Amino acid sequence: MTQTDYAAMERPIFEAWKDAGYFQRTPGFGEHAGESYTIVIPPPNITGVLHMGHALNDTIQDACIRRARMRGFQTRWIIGTDHAGISTQTKVDKRLAEAGISRLEIGREAFIGECYKWREEYGTTIVNQIKGMGCSCDYSDEHFTLEPSYVRAVRKLFVDWYRDKLIYRGKRIVNWCPSCTTAIADDEADYVDEAGHLWYLRYPLTEPVDGLEYLVVATTRPETMLGDTGVAVNPKDERFGHLVGKTVKLPLVDREIPIFADWHVDTEFGTGCVKVTPSHDPNDWAMGEKAGLPRINIFDETAHVVEGYGKFSGMDRDEAREAVVAAFEELGLLDHVEDHDHSVMTCYRCHTKLEPWESEQWFVAVDGLKEAAARVVEDGSIQFHPARWKQVYLDWLANLKDWCISRQLWWGHRIPMYYCDECGWEDASVDEIEVCPACGAPVRQDDDVLDTWFSSQLWPFATMGWTEEGMDAPQMRTAYPTQVLSTARDIMGLWVARMVMASMYCCDNTIPFEDVIIHPTVMAADGKPMSKSRGNGVDPLRLMEDYGADGMRFGLLMQVTGAQDMKFNEAKLESSRNFANKVKNASRFVLMNLEGYEPGAPEPVTPADRWIFSRLAKVVEAVDAAYDNFEFGEITRELYGFVWNEFCDWYIEFSKARLAEGADPADRAACQRNLVFVLGQILRLLHPIMPFITEEVYGEMPKGDAAAPMLIVAPWPDAAELSRFVDEESERAIAMVCEVVGAARSTRSRYGISPKVALPVAVKVAAEADAALLLAQAHLIGQLANVEEFEVAVETSKPAESAVVLGSGLEVYIVLAGHVDFDAERARLARERDGLAKDVAKFEKKLSNPGFLAKAAPEIVEKDKAKLADLVDKLARIEAQLAELG
């Protein structure tokens, strides 16, 4: 089978949209002409490539912006990329290392130059891939988090918060990466389960108490004992109450440290006594602060033991662990060791174990920002979809501690703090400062850069000209706040909450967006996270090659439910590609039957017309409601069922006789206009999700002078206007027609009866009204199902030698007498039933065998289970046929 070159078909359409200026701020029309609808894309990293999460999220955003554009809003989808501090620096460091160069050798400025070279080379990769998806972003005004205006915005926010005492510098415990040599945010740490140990160490009492000579402490990190400044017990632990206030002599370093009580101590952990190292554990820091313990930092920035610790100095933390344990054992102070599985934090970039480490950093005092950010979610100003994420957001805010915003990197927004070493002056400044305003001596700028999330929190407004004019900037006046933010759950705190905090502060207590969509995480088919290491990742670029951008987009949204995770099913994309072909074939049928077409208003003249118009009205209403609730899976399911089953399979079938040669000219003209109208509405409904094929078909459709030049700016179907077509009676009539025709066709297929053979059919209905409706459509049933002797009644019994098919409120009897050899058919079916029963028994026995289940590969077991299910289904259908034949 020849592979379709979807890109070759899609690219010219995309370029036509872009060249026409439809991706820029549209002028708007209709009732929403003066209203703005803006989305900001979560800025992808310049190191990134399109992955399944991007593909899903970008499809959601494009569906929202395209529909808003068609509804007449002044739309714009702002695109840009993030400089991605640690990610980019790591990539460039690696590239330099491969060339035998170190950034320390070439210096800061030259290294930043190399980072910009990287951006020029790779920074547009993901943007070009987003274009390939058909995303209607405003590519004429692409932003970057290190562009001059954005840099100025970030500096301004830092200065304002610094002036308002919301930013401060201090020594605190941070998560430190010894490999990247920078602080890492708590939320960015990856947790890895590790099989470790619990070492029980003996700490001798300075003076024995009641014959007790030592305390035993349990620890997962014996190397940090070099920095211990206390031993803690729980105040309620009666075993150690008499020791509080005493001291122990810390082995190896001969340091006398106090025994004190603190509620942090878990009496069930270890012995109930814990060593306290304030500079290397956040809980110990808190206990040490309360108890007034000194803080001793035993590691340097690469996690090697600092000078002053004898043979341990210069060892890395793993070497120090082995050496400390060996020294305790040699001194007879290693009580015992237990296996202990626990979770360790690792760097999200290089996967090195993080070190809780005391260092001087810059922090945001979040207590001054949290209240406003919580209030606008609590009062509904910002709404989450699904709604359960509201509480997750509020809980994250409630537990948020002061935010470490300094990073020991070169690539990024350099902290705008300036210091004079001559007179001690220091201050923050939006503008560059070279000389001290107090004494005229040269000043130096802080060496650290800001956390990437600090800069990205300004994204919704720093991309709209806020920097210089604030809320008076033209874009801010007309397009702020934005309407929808769609993102993943893992950055809800890191990014979403911080954007709300920053916007409430910077934008006169204005929210940054009205609705937050937390889309599901795309998992592999087995429910595990997609990753290179597992080899279970799926490349969206390959999916677009195989199924087209439309097929991938529609197939992804079909899988969206309210669940937190989404198991990716590629079969849905194949189904979507087939759906796209179905739309194309149906469109081709309509276009091929427009000879002599005269434009005019649609007019539902037959029950079939009134049925499809009524169904269209209800589908538009349902799709609108689903969009309002951001239920994208529901949107695709509504459209799939209506377009494939009702329009393509039935309405086109109903139309064929009306379009045939010799048909009534007036009815033919009405049918043509109705087909064009309904197909046009379908193209509009599908366009936000399947933009390419719908635009292609729209270009071939007959259009009046007032029609939109391209579908991308054609008006969205008007639910209120279409509601006049709702016709329950016609819907019931045609629904029954479809059930009767379907029953006759399936019975013919089941028994191998030619469509040319006319069959008697009787229908039992629940009410006289249904009987009247159905009898009125007898000609349609005869035309589509080749039915003779058609009878409909409320009280009727099953004719002899007939098949029965149950429908909604009716029973359809298809008389088979004279067309089926019942004896031969019963004998054939009985043989088939017996063979299937044997196969079912064989597989049931096999799958109930513990030995087979233990030894067989999982995929073999699953294959056999699927085979058994198929056999059971076939057997049930054969038995139903036998029962039908009597």
Question: Two tokens at 474?
Answer: 């033209």
Strands 190-209 and 182-184: unpaired
Asked whether residue 405 is assigned to any structural domain, the reply reads no
Answer yes or no: is 404 within a domain: no
Give residue 431's identity as a one-letter amino acid code.
Answer: D
- The string over 452-477, giving b where at least 16 C-beta atoms fall within 10 Å of a residue's C-beta and e elsewhere, is bbbbbbbbbbbbbbbbeeeeebebbe
Mean predicted confidence (pLDDT) in 590-615: 95
Tell me whether residue 464 is in a domain. yes
Alpha carbon distance 471, 132 (integer Å): 35
HEC string for 99-168: CCCCHHHHCHHHHHHHHHHHHHHHCCHHHHHHHHCCCCCCHHHCEECCCHHHHHHHHHHHHHHHHCCCEE
Alpha-carbon span 134 to 181, nearest angstrom: 40
The band of 2, judged by pLDDT with boundaries at 50, 70 and 90, is low
- Of the three residues 768, 794, 820, the one that is the final residue of a domain is 820
Question: What is the per-residue pLDDT across 631-642, written as a single tens digit (0 to 9) for each?
Answer: 999 999 999 999
Q: What pLDDT, in 10s, does the model give residues 544-565? A: 999 999 999 999 999 998 888 9
* Per-chain mean pLDDT for the chain: 93
The residue-averaged pLDDT of 604-611 equals 96
CA 227 to chain centroid, in Å, comes to 44
Range of the domain at 668: 562-729
DSSP string, 443-476: -EE-S-EE-HHHHHTTHHHHTTTHHHHGGGSHHH
Q: What is the mean pLDDT of residues 613-636?
A: 97
| 391 in a structural domain | no
Verify that 316 and 230 share a domain, yes or no.
yes
Residue 201 sits in the same domain as residue 323: yes
Last residue of a domain, one of 315, 346, 377: 346
- The pLDDT of 656-672, averaged and rounded, is 94
Write out pLDDT tens, residues 814-852.
Answer: 888 888 777 776 787 788 789 989 999 999 999 999 888
858 in a domain, yes or no? Answer: yes
Whether 370 has a pLDDT exceeding 90, the answer reads yes
What is the share, in percent, of the chain residues with pLDDT greater than 70? 99
Instruction: Assign residue 866 the CATH number of its domain.
Output: 1.10.287
Sorted by sequence, the CB contacts under 8 Å of residue 359 that are 6+ apart come out as 171, 172, 174, 176, 183, 297, 301
- Whether omega for the bond prior to residue 386 falls within 30 degrees of 0, making it cis, is yes
Q: What is the DSSP letter of 817?
A: T
| DSSP label of 310 | G
**pLDDT confidence of residue 607:** 95
Average pLDDT over residues 472-477: 91
314 and 241 inside one domain: yes
- Domain boundary pick from 729, 747, 779: 729
Beta bridge partner(s), residue 217: 201
In this predicted structure, the answer to whether residue 509 has a pLDDT above a threshold of 90 is yes
**pLDDT greater than 70 at residue 40:** yes
CATH (domain of 572): 1.10.730.10
Measure the CA–CA gap between 298 and 305, rounded to whole angstroms: 6
Q: How buried is residue 104: exposed, middle or buried, by Cβ count under 10 Å (0-12/13-18/19+)?
A: exposed
Q: Which segment of 146-160, 461-475, 793-807 scores lowest on mean pLDDT? A: 793-807
Whether residues 814 and 827 share a domain: the answer is no
- Say what the pLDDT of residue 761 is: 93
For 655-674, what is the mean pLDDT?
A: 94
CATH number at 511 reads: 3.40.50.620
Of 34-48, 178-192, 593-607, 676-690, minimum mean pLDDT range = 178-192
Residue 167 lies in a domain: no
Give the pLDDT band of residue 1 (cuts 50, 70, 90). Answer: very low
Residues 711 and 758 in one domain: no
> What integer pLDDT is reported at residue 533 of this predicted model?
67
Q: Which of 295, 255, 267, 261 minimizes the C-alpha distance to 279?
A: 295
3-state secondary structure of 565: strand
Residues 26, 136: one domain?
yes
Does 379 map to a domain?
no
Label residue 807 by pLDDT band (50, 70, 90).
confident
Tell me whether residue 532 is annotated as binding: yes
Name the amino acid, one letter, at 45. Answer: N
CA 568 to chain centre: 12
pTM: 0.87
Residues 216 and 139 in one domain: no
Q: Both 139 and 10 in a single domain?
A: yes
Tens of pLDDT, residues 379-422: 999 999 999 999 999 999 999 999 999 999 999 999 999 999 99
Among 216, 226, 248, smallest CA distance to 335 is for 216
Separation of alpha carbons 66 and 17, rounded Å: 12
Instruction: Kindly state whether residues 806 and 793 are assigned to the same domain.
Output: yes
Decide which of 369 and 748 is more confident: 369
Q: Do 196 and 283 share a domain, yes or no?
A: yes
Q: Are residues 616 and 629 in the same domain?
A: yes
Pairing status of strand 482-488 against strand 513-519? parallel
Q: In the chain, what is the straight-line distance between the N-terminal and C-terminal CA atoms, in Å?
A: 46
Average the pLDDT over each of 438-452, 630-644, 803-817 and give the range with the smallest value: 803-817
Q: What are residue 787's phi and psi, to 5 degrees?
A: -105, 140
Q: Is 484 exposed, middle or buried (0-12, 13-18, 19+ CB in 10 A)?
A: buried
Is residue 811 exposed (0-12), middle (13-18) or buried (19+ Cβ within 10 Å)? Answer: middle
In a domain, residue 172? The reply is: no
Q: How confident is the model at residue 720 (pLDDT cuts 50, 70, 90)?
A: very high
**Domain containing 303 — which CATH number?**
3.90.740.10
Q: Are residues 539 and 578 in the same domain?
A: no
If one counts the domains in the chain, the total is 5
> What are the residues whose beta carbons fall under 8 Å from the beta carbon of 268, sequence distance 6 or more?
none
Share of the chain above pLDDT 90, in %: 76
Question: Cis omega (within 30 of 0) on the bond before 481?
Answer: yes
